Amino acid sequence: MSGDIKTTHAVKTVGAAVMTAPGKLEYQELPYPDHLEPGAMIVKMEMSGICGTDKHAYKGETTLYGGTEAEQDMVFPTVHGHENSGIVVEMNGDNIEYSGQSLKVGDRVTNCPNIICGECWYCRSVHGYPYCSHHKGIGMTYYADQFPYIVGGWSEYMYLPPKAWVYKVPDYIPIEYSCLSELFVVTAILDRGKEYAAYGGKGFHFGDTVVVQGAGPIGMLMVAKARMLGAGKIIALDNFPKKLEMAKDFGADVTFNVADMDDKQLVEAIRAETEGRGADVVVETVGQPSVVRVGLEMLRRGGTYLETGNFADTGEVSLNIHRHIAAKNVLIYGNTNHPHDGYYAAFDMMWRNRDKFPFEKLITHRFKLNQAQEAIDKSFEEDALKVVFEM
């Protein structure tokens, strides 16, 4: 291929956790890429997380961006992993990372999962959010049985294709923070809520009551981000007491274990905490459509609902359009992505707030690649927050 270079690395095969089909994850030896496309690089992996998106794929919920020009399915077999930290070992060309710095072999980097064309209407018209009509996803839509094989972080080495957004991780940032940075960037949906605060009491205002549905890793970071952005009372919801207890460490004032509450009881509990009105802002991070209806019911009139958990197509839920949306004048903000320009702010704000929020505690379990099945099984258990592979 014109412009490609042969790799000089001595490694011939790469150990990787490969998702071969829904419900099937196994350790395999894959080929080390024999060449690099112009602008590509290879990273020696240090750590990669198991994301909710990976769990959706494992359950067979594979459709991304459903009903849009960018609709696609996650593929099999593939090397998942888009919450990454690694060291650059090979490059083809004078690779420039996101902020304009030149990269060199030995630099620690992380990456945005999104690869966009740069030419479609969305790429030319929308900054920050990758709405590309021809989107591809690192750790989601590259086949493990085709070159370049290892376009995902659950491997000893990861191939980052041309046009990948790569971020040089500051020397003082721990590997754990580098791996968690993609999750923290997802909390930008709360920043988007701030943008609407000028419109008739909508959006996210200073002192607002914020409810976070789900106290998993994203939910925990939403709690922390809401606190950073000036939330008043923060209420965390989950099924598991240990997660709710940790949510208090991240800034939650009130927690409810929803395991023993029906929807009516939950809505009444939220109203009791808000002088009968309901929450100003609700953030959904559970990833199950069934929680959306009650999430809308617990909003006050004119409240804001931020939907980010159902990144993949997880099915449908019935709503009463009058009662849930129109009569309440709610603002619903959908989100299946995160801003690619948010990583350096994420590094900085996580580091600045390290004494306030125990980010490292989000990583509860660590596995080797040859423990792939054990790792994915653990990620579905109640005592797990962020499960990672350490290379």
- For the chain, list the domains and their CATH numbers: 5-169+358-390 (3.90.180.10), 187-334 (3.40.50.720)
According to DSSP H, which parts of 165-287 are helical?
Answer: 175-186, 188-195, 217-228, 241-249, 263-272
Number of Cα atoms under 13 Å in the Cβ half of residue 72: 14
Is residue 333 within 8 Å of residue 193, measured between CB atoms? yes
Q: Could you list the mean pLDDT of each consecutive 10-residue stretch along the chain, which spans 391 residues?
A: 76 95 98 96 98 96 95 97 98 87 94 96 94 96 98 98 96 97 97 88 94 98 98 98 97 97 98 98 96 98 96 94 96 93 97 97 98 98 96 94
DSSP class per residue in 81-118:
--SEEEEEEEESS--B-TTSPBP-TT-EEEE-SEE--S
Strand 35-36 versus strand 5-6 pairing type: antiparallel
pLDDT at position 5: 86
DSSP code of residue 155 = B
Residues in the chain: 391
Q: How far is CA 370 from the centre of its chain?
A: 24
- Residue 247 CA: distances (Å) to CA of 4, 204, 281, 293, 388: 48, 20, 17, 23, 20
User: What order of strands is seen across the sheet that includes strand 331-334?
Assistant: 254-257, 234-238, 210-213, 279-284, 299-307, 331-334
pTM: 0.96
pLDDT at position 94: 78
pLDDT at position 8: 77
Structure-token pair, residue 206: 């200073």
- Please report how the helices 175-186 and 188-195 are oriented relative to each other, as an axis angle in degrees rounded to 10: 30
pLDDT at position 95: 74
